[in-house]
Amino acid sequence: MVNIAAIYREFEQDNLDTINSLHIECGVMRTLIERFPGDNTIKQWSEYFIRLNGAEIENLMEDVEYDRKTAAELERL
Amino acid sequence: MTGKRQRSLKDYNGEDKVISSHEMKLALDQRQEAVIRVKSLFPSLDRYIEDFRDGELIAISGPTKMGKTLLAQTLTVNFAKQGQPSLWFTYELPARQFLSQFPELPMIYMPARLKARALDWLTDRIIESFEKYHTRIVFIDHLHFLFDLSRTKSPSLEIGTVVRRLKGIAVNDELMVFLLCHTTKGKADGTLSYENIRDSSFVSQESDCVLMIKRTPDDGENTARARVEFHRRTGVLEKTVDLIKVDGLLHERISQERPATRERADFQ
């Protein structure tokens, strides 16, 4: 029988991994801004992607909370 | 100085070779003056210290429960607004309490588990965070967790070693290190200065800037005063900034008094 709680735990882990990779991407963007201090285009695009990743991380945080809650409820059944 | 060793060093060409002032200047001209510059977003403080820059060790000090951590957290949020996230070593507060004190969760980084009294471990985590997330700002709360006070015969020398190493990290890796440290009770009249930093004068000797903070209940609820004890780069001495806590973070409180009067006010 398929363990649905385990599937939610996997979703949770996937989302945690994605949050981490988005943070690493933000680090790459910050490196780019530093490496090209005079390039306004790179700066603006990098800052845009950092903001975008920040918003995505916020969404994923909510998803992780939902996955955790759902998995815990299914495990209680 | 004669012999084999002299002959071998004549052709030495390592990264640390001795060069002339002219070569050094030309090498420096190719580098940026500062890799990062961030503002505190307290207008007076930014005017006094002309922003925080990499390579600097900044000590934040003051008596217990007087707002050191709050000031550091406010700076963290203000730096994050400028696109510079910080790496935090929050030894004093549990992670849950530390994060809950931010009105909104900022983009910051911290070790999943902390190790006290482990300077090598701390150095590794700083480098790890830089390599993974490109963090150039480090907060350590607080200094006394970095060594074992009970096993130390001479805390002052131990602190000197720790602080000098942190300063070395800041300079060599182009980072900005904020070090929180306690003070003694101060003089009988209640005044405080960097000379009151607990256990060691090395903290102020090695720091580029010492910021003292103290609550000022006489000025109103949730008020505090920060004082720049000294700032090596700008030469600023004993400048005060009035602060107020609003919505969980500190903001500069604009005084009605003339600035000249305010600078003379005792830091009590």
This complex has an ipTM of 0.85
User: Cα(B198)–Cα(B39) distance, rounded to whole angstroms?
Assistant: 28
Tell me the CATH architecture of domain B51-217.
Answer: 3-Layer(aba) Sandwich (3.40)
For chain B positions 220-249, those within 8 Å of chain A (CB to CB) are: none
CA distance A42 to chain B (A): 14
Structural domain boundaries in chain B: 51-217
Q: Is B65 on the interface with A (CB under 8 A)?
A: no
User: Cα(B126)–Cα(B112) distance, rounded to whole angstroms?
Assistant: 13
Q: Is B127 on the interface with A (CB under 8 A)?
A: no
pLDDT for the residue numbered B47: 93
pLDDT in tens, B103-162: 999 999 999 999 888 889 999 999 999 999 999 999 999 888 887 777 777 777 888 888
Percent of chain B with pLDDT over 90: 51
The mean pLDDT of B58-83, rounded to a whole number, is 93
- Say what the alpha-carbon torsion angle B126, B129, B132, B133 is, to the nearest 10 degrees: -130
Percent of chain B with pLDDT over 70: 85
Nearest partner of A25 among A45, A41, A2, A11, judged by Cα: A45
The mean pLDDT of B237-265, rounded to a whole number, is 77
pLDDT at B179 over 90: yes
CA distance A31 to chain B (A): 7
Q: Do A37 and B134 touch (CB under 8 A)?
A: no
| CB-CB contact of B190 with B231 (8 Å) | no
pLDDT at B268 over 60: no
pLDDT for the residue numbered B197: 65
Q: Which residues of B touch A59 (CB under 8 A)?
A: none
> Which position has the token pair 């182009």?
B174
Burial class (CB in 10 A: 0-12, 13-18, 19+), B251: middle
Q: Which of B87, B134, B173 to mutate: most A Cβ within 10 Å?
A: B134
- Of the candidates B32, B133, B135, the beta carbon closest to that of A37 is on B32
pLDDT for the residue numbered A25: 96
Tell me the average pLDDT of chain A.
Answer: 93
Q: Do A31 and B134 touch (CB under 8 A)?
A: yes
CA distance A27 to chain B (A): 4
- Of the candidates B32, B36, B133, the beta carbon closest to that of A27 is on B133
> Does the N-terminal peptide bond of residue B22 adopt cis geometry, omega within 30 degrees of 0?
no
Give the rounded distance of the alpha carbon of B145 from its chain centre: 16
User: Cα(B214)–Cα(B265) distance, rounded to whole angstroms?
Assistant: 13
Instruction: Name the residue of chain A whose CA is nearest to B106's CA.
Output: A54
- Say what the alpha-carbon torsion angle A47, A53, A54, A58 is, to the nearest 10 degrees: 170
Q: Do B133 and A47 touch (CB under 8 A)?
A: no
CA distance A76 to chain B (A): 26
| CB-CB contact of B111 with B89 (8 Å) | yes
Q: Which helix H or strand E contains B83, and what residues bound it? A: none
| CB-CB contact of B200 with B160 (8 Å) | yes
User: Cα(A35)–Cα(A30) distance, rounded to whole angstroms?
Assistant: 9
| CB-CB contact of A8 with A71 (8 Å) | yes
pLDDT for the residue numbered B149: 72
Is the pTM above the cut of 0.95?
A: no
> Which position has the token pair 């900005």?
B176
Q: Which residues of B touch A23 (CB under 8 A)?
A: 107, 109, 132-133
